[in-house]
Structure 1
Amino acid sequence: MPKPIEVQYLTIHGHKRAYVKVGTGPALLLLHGLGCDHTTWLPVIAALSRRYTVIAPDLLGHGRSAKPRADYSVGGYANGMRDLLTVLGVDKVTVVGHSFGGGVAMQFAYQFPERTERMILVAPGGLGAEVTPAIRAITLPFFHQAMGVVTLPGVRHLTTAGLRALAASGLPQARDLDEVAMIVDSFKDPRARRAIRHVVSAVVDWRGQIVTMVDRAYLTQAMPMCVIWGTEDAVIPVKHAGIASEFAPGATVEVIANAGHFPHKDHPQRFVKIVDEFIRAHPAAAYHRGRWRSLLKNGRQVPVPTAVTPVRQAEIA
């Protein structure tokens, strides 16, 4: 039986930060999605740690980290990751972000290019407006009260048990409901509900995603980028992978068949292989202030394409 992964804690700016750090070698920073925590990466941490130093934090307001009244913006999270890495003595990382964590990964790379070797984005937010109505609903006024009712002890147990049973049914549309069950269970803490609402309100409104990386995609000329998506993603549509291919033509785009919003859980071996092959094939970015200045001066916004470029579908190993 594999040894359990130990959760460690640091206090930064007066707030407790939970994280796991395992393995040796080049550093990978794994950033989870909205309402999740480091456990979303458990299917791949052990395999990745054979070649890499894996750092998987619980973002502020999530998991075992503190849930204060604080800055829950994408930029604030990027700053928090810089500070965590600084305390851990890690200078540079390949940043891997899933869903909302993908948005944080992009922001981290944008704010701290000198500390970012590569970006790996897993079904990331920030490439288009579309997002599941369930996430848009978090911004509505009644969300906090409604979740207070849903997470009452008896109701919560029935709800999460039902979601897990559907996830185990084998129905493709229900494949991600075990993660939804974990998120619902975490909402029993009113501090977590308030934190998540602050997070979502900063990046989503009733029409969909607000924050976009499209206007800064030209900066990926100076940094290797890989985008991984599942064909059956019901949270953020897989067509956004085509947007990534359009705006960052040098990016590696992998679409995994028979995978939902969590391809690293649906096909962990394939996911690890993609990550490893990408890192081996793409030397770490070397930050040069002059080149970055030139990109910023010469870069321009490009309108969103009416049709997206088809992307290659990865074969399941």
Structure 2
Amino acid sequence: MATISTPNYPDSLPLPEVYEGGAGTPLVLIHGFGGNWRMWKPVLPILERHHRVIVPTLPGHSGGVRLRRRATPASIADALAEQLRARGLDQAHVVGQSLGGYMAVEMARRGVARSVLGISPGGAWKTDADQKALLGRIRKSFRLMPYLRPLLSPLLQIRSLRKRVLRDEMEHGDKMSPAEVRGMLHHALNCPIAREFLDEGIAQIEALPADNRVPVRIVWCGNDRVLTFREFGQPFLDRLGLKTHGVLRGCGHNPMYDDPEAVAGAILDFIGSVERETD
């Protein structure tokens, strides 16, 4: 299977890293925990034909602004909202994946989102045991990664190995180039807040206030092995009082490489419906 073909997006940006491209109504994309803006690369060529697309690296992450407080969902959201307002973004469509989905809802709470789409968002769980097991798996990955990365790096030219290494994150990790996989591992390992965030304790997301009229839509990745729908997806819907959700079929937790057309389509369809109802 071929790797995803994308334009030559920059290997580095001025710090803090925020990618921007395209023209039109503003659309903010927010990545998940331990990642950076590059996780959205496969969908950018599609979305930039319709929107001004802004893709920040999350505060506290490798390439992002530094946090001035302890690393919690609230402190990250506060810093992100401040960063977006500083760029003149106070009514953007906001899309987030995993932790980014949690942050997208928090942007609605903080008054900087015109609409919110969450893709397999984190922030809710069925039982404390489910959350404890999830955090345990993530901590284990961060402990092992420094030792495994130098062993894996020279072997990443092998497509089947890339797919196996990334099997928990996506169905088709072989679509990532060796350089992209190395970059993904580098940014995860160099996430300044990783240990503190995992140890601090993550509060479950709260429902938006009754007077908050920001449209919210959730789509779940059909083959998500990180945040399974029963244990994490349905509780998220329940906490926000949502009755329906969409499904990205055949996609793992990070769906942007698995099926960029489907991801971009879900985003554009939702934004289109919001704009038709509000214009």
Range class of TM-score, shorter chain: 0.7 to 0.9
Post-superposition offset of 1:22: 0.8
Letter in 1 for 2:122: G
**Pairs aligned (count):** 264
**SS of structure 1 residue aligned to 2:199:** helix
Q: Distance in 1 between matches of 2:120 and 2:22?
A: 25
**SS of structure 2 residue aligned to 1:33:** coil
Residue in structure 2 matched with residue 64 of structure 1 by the alignment: 63
Letter in 1 for 2:123: G
Indicate whether 1:4 and 2:8 are aligned.
yes
**SS of structure 2 residue aligned to 1:282:** helix
Residue in structure 1 matched with residue 89 of structure 2 by the alignment: 90
1:157 pairs with one of 153, 162, 176: 153
**SS of structure 2 residue aligned to 1:86:** helix
Residue in structure 2 matched with residue 195 of structure 1 by the alignment: 193
Contact 2:173/2:257, CA 8 A, preserved across alignment: no
Alignment of 1:221-232 (within 5 A): 222-232=213-223
Residue in structure 2 matched with residue 136 of structure 1 by the alignment: 136
Which entry has the higher C-alpha Rg, 1 or 2?
Answer: 1
Q: Distance in 2 between matches of 1:62 and 1:285?
A: 36
TM-score, scaled to structure 1: 0.69
- Unpaired runs of 5+ residues, structure 1, are 10-15, 204-209, 287-317
Indicate how the Cα distance of structure 1 residues 149 and 172 shifts in structure 2: closer, same or farther if over 3 A, else same. Answer: closer
Indicate how the Cα distance of structure 1 residues 69 and 92 shifts in structure 2: closer, same or farther if over 3 A, else same. Answer: closer
Post-superposition offset of 1:30: 0.7
**SS of structure 2 residue aligned to 1:96:** strand
Residue in structure 2 matched with residue 122 of structure 1 by the alignment: 119
Contact 1:17/1:59, CA 8 A, preserved across alignment: no
1:267 pairs with one of 252, 255, 259: 259
Alignment of 1:158-307 (within 5 A): 165-167=161-163, 175=171, 182-187=183-188, 192-203=190-201, 210-213=202-205, 215-217=206-208, 219=210, 222-239=213-230, 240-248=232-240, 253-283=245-275
* RMSD of aligned Cα (Å): 3.7
Post-superposition offset of 1:219: 4.2
- Unpaired runs of 5+ residues, structure 2, are none
Residue in structure 2 matched with residue 35 of structure 1 by the alignment: 34
Deviations 1:241-271 (A, max 9, x none): 3344445555651112211102232121122
**SS of structure 2 residue aligned to 1:29:** strand
Indicate how the Cα distance of structure 1 residues 269 and 137 shifts in structure 2: closer, same or farther if over 3 A, else same. Answer: closer
TM-score, scaled to structure 2: 0.77
User: Taking CA–CA contacts closer than 8 Å with sequence separation of 6 or more, which of the two structures ends up with the larger relative contact order?
Assistant: 2
Q: Distance in 1 between matches of 2:68 and 2:96?
A: 24
**SS of structure 2 residue aligned to 1:17:** coil
Post-superposition offset of 1:221: 6.3
Deviations 1:201-247 (A, max 9, x none): 334xxxxxx4222x425648622111111111000002243344445
Q: Distance in 2 between matches of 1:3 and 1:183?
A: 18
| Worse-matched range after superposition: 247-256 or 157-166 | 157-166
Letter in 1 for 2:120: A
Indicate how the Cα distance of structure 1 residues 280 and 147 shifts in structure 2: closer, same or farther if over 3 A, else same. Answer: closer
Indicate how the Cα distance of structure 1 residues 102 and 285 shifts in structure 2: closer, same or farther if over 3 A, else same. Answer: farther
